[in-house]
Structure 1
Amino acid sequence: MKLGKDITLWGLELGLLSMARGEAARFWFSPEYAYGRRGCPPCIPPDTTVLFHVELLDFIDSEECDLFFELSEVQQDMFPLEKVLKVAATEREFGNYFFHKQNFRVAKHRYKRALSVLGHSCSSEAEQSQVNTSKVPLLLNLSLTYLKLECPKRALKYGEKALEMDQGNVKALFRCGQACLCMKEYSKSRDFLTRAQKIQPFNRDINNELKKLERYYEEYVGMQKEMCCRMFASSCG
Structure 2
Amino acid sequence: MSGNGLTASIRRLISPEEQLSRSTPSPFDQLRQQMNDVLGDGGILKEVVQSGEGPPVPENASVLIHYSSFLEYSDRPFETTTHLKYPQMMKLGRDVTLAGLALGLLTMRKGEFSRFLFQPQYAYGDMGCPPLIPAAAVILYEIQILDFLDSGQVDDFITMSPEEQNTVPLSTLLDVVSTQRSFGNRCFKQSRYDHAKGRYKEATLLLGNRETRSDAEAEKIKTALLPLYLNLSLTELRLDSPHKALKYGNKALEIDSANTKALFRCGQAYLELCEYERAQGCLITAQAKKPFDTDINNLLRKVAICYRDSLDKQKELCAKMFRDLRGK
Q: Same fold (TM over 0.5)?
A: yes
Q: CA deviation at 1:27?
A: 1.0
The CA RMSD over aligned residues, in Å, is 2.2
After TM superposition, the structure 1 = structure 2 runs for residues 1-237 of structure 1, keeping only pairs within 5 Å, are 1-3=61-63, 5=88, 10=98, 11-29=100-118, 33=123, 36-39=129-132, 49-119=138-208, 120-237=210-327
Whether the 8 Å CA contact 2:188–2:235 is kept in 1: the answer is: yes
SS in 2 for 1:167: coil
Q: CA deviation at 1:198?
A: 0.3
CA distance in 2, matches of 1:235, 1:28: 85
CA distance in 2, matches of 1:235, 1:14: 82
Q: CA deviation at 1:3?
A: 4.1
AA aligned to 1:179 is A
Whether the 8 Å CA contact 1:176–1:192 is kept in 2: the answer is: yes
In the TM superposition, what whole-angstrom CA distance separates every residue of 1:161-217 from its partner, at most 9, and x where no partner exists?
Answer: 111111111100100111111111111111100000000000000000000001101
In the TM superposition, what whole-angstrom CA distance separates every residue of 1:125-166 from its partner, at most 9, and x where no partner exists?
Answer: 111111111110000000000010111111111111111111
Identify the residue that residue 56 of structure 2 maps to in structure 1.
none
Q: CA deviation at 1:37?
A: 2.1
CA distance in 1, matches of 2:317, 2:102: 63
Whether the 8 Å CA contact 1:95–1:107 is kept in 2: the answer is: yes
CA distance in 2, matches of 1:49, 1:38: 15
Structure having the higher strand fraction is 2
Identify the residue that residue 69 of structure 2 maps to in structure 1.
none
Q: CA deviation at 1:20?
A: 3.7
Whether the 8 Å CA contact 2:123–2:139 is kept in 1: the answer is: no
Identify the residue that residue 13 of structure 2 maps to in structure 1.
none
AA aligned to 2:301 is K
Whether the 8 Å CA contact 1:3–1:13 is kept in 2: the answer is: no
CA distance in 2, matches of 1:55, 1:3: 10
Q: CA deviation at 1:2?
A: 2.3
- TM-score when normalising by structure 2: 0.66
Q: CA deviation at 1:235?
A: 2.6
In the TM superposition, what whole-angstrom CA distance separates every residue of 1:35-81 from its partner, at most 9, and x where no partner exists?
Answer: 83232xxxxx7566442232324201101100001111110111110
For structure 1, which segment, 124-133 or 28-37, has the greater mean C-alpha deviation from structure 2 after superposition?
A: 28-37
Whether the 8 Å CA contact 2:117–2:138 is kept in 1: the answer is: yes
AA aligned to 1:2 is S
Task: Identify if the C-alpha distance between structure 1 residues 106 and 57 changes in structure 2 by more than 3 Å, giving closer, same or farther.
Answer: closer
AA aligned to 1:38 is P
Aligned residues: 232
CA distance in 2, matches of 1:134, 1:6: 24
Identify the residue that residue 37 of structure 2 maps to in structure 1.
none
- Which runs of 5 or more structure 1 residues have no equivalent in the other structure? 40-44
AA aligned to 2:149 is I
Whether the 8 Å CA contact 2:212–2:218 is kept in 1: the answer is: yes
Q: Which has the higher contact order (CA 8 A, sep 6+)?
A: 2
For structure 1, which segment, 222-231 or 186-195, has the greater mean C-alpha deviation from structure 2 after superposition?
A: 222-231
SS in 2 for 1:59: strand
For structure 1, which segment, 188-197 or 123-132, has the greater mean C-alpha deviation from structure 2 after superposition?
A: 123-132
CA distance in 2, matches of 1:210, 1:55: 43
- Which runs of 5 or more structure 2 residues have no equivalent in the other structure? 1-60, 65-87
